C-alpha cells in the first residue's frame, strides 16, 4: 500500500459524458501527478500540481482539466468523453525533492 488513494476504482460511462477522478496523496506529499495508461499509448504523463499550483503539463487534452485543493487532494476532470479515453488513470504523489513517486491503484475508465 503506497498511501495514495484513488476513487473510484472503476468507472463506466458513455461517450460525451463528463467524469471526475479523485486522488488523495500520501500524508505530507505536496506534489500530485496524473498519468494515463493505455495499451496503445503506454504511460503518458498528463499534469503535475505542487501545493495547489500547476507545475508541469504533459500530453493533456483540452477536454481534460485538473486541480489540487487546499487539503492537497486532487481531481482530474474528463469531459466530452470519447472511446479512446478508455484507459487506466493513475495518480502519484511525491515529496519534492527527491522526486520519488508513489502511485495509487488507479481508476479504470471505460467509455462505451
Partner 1 sequence: AQSVSQHNHHVILSEAASLELGCNYSYGGTVNLFWYVQYPGQHLQLLLKYFSGDPLVKGIKGFEAEFIKSKFSFNLRKPSVQWSDTAEYFCAVYNTNAGKSTFGDGTTLTVKP
Q: Under the criterion CB under 8 A, does residue 34 sit at the interface with partner 1?
A: no
CB of residue 62 to partner 1, shortest distance in Å: 21
Helices then strands, each counted (H, E), the chain = 0, 11
In whole angstroms, how far apart are CA 77 and each of 11, 71, 87, 99, 100? 13, 18, 14, 25, 25
Q: Under the criterion CB under 8 A, does residue 92 sit at the interface with partner 1?
A: yes
For partner 1, which is the closer residue by CB, 45 or 65?
A: 45
User: Residue 20 has which C-alpha cell?
Assistant: 471526475
Q: Under the criterion CB under 8 A, does residue 73 sit at the interface with partner 1?
A: no
- 84 SS3 class: helix
CB of residue 17 to partner 1, shortest distance in Å: 25
For partner 1, which is the closer residue by CB, 52 or 105?
A: 105
Amino acid at each position: 500500500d503506497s498511501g495514495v488513494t484513488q476513487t473510484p476504482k472503476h468507472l463506466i460511462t458513455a461517450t460525451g459524458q463528463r467524469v471526475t477522478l479523485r486522488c488523495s496523496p500520501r500524508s505530507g506529499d505536496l506534489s500530485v501527478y496524473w498519468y494515463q495508461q493505455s495499451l496503445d499509448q503506454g504511460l503518458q504523463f498528463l499534469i503535475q500540481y505542487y501545493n495547489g499550483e500547476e507545475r508541469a503539463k504533459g500530453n493533456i487534452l483540452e477536454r481534460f482539466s485538473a486541480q489540487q485543493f487546499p487539503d492537497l487532494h486532487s481531481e482530474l476532470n474528463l469531459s466530452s468523453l470519447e472511446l479512446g479515453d478508455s484507459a487506466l488513470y493513475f495518480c502519484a504523489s511525491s515529496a519534492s525533492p527527491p522526486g520519488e513517486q508513489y502511485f495509487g491503484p488507479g481508476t479504470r475508465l471505460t467509455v462505451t
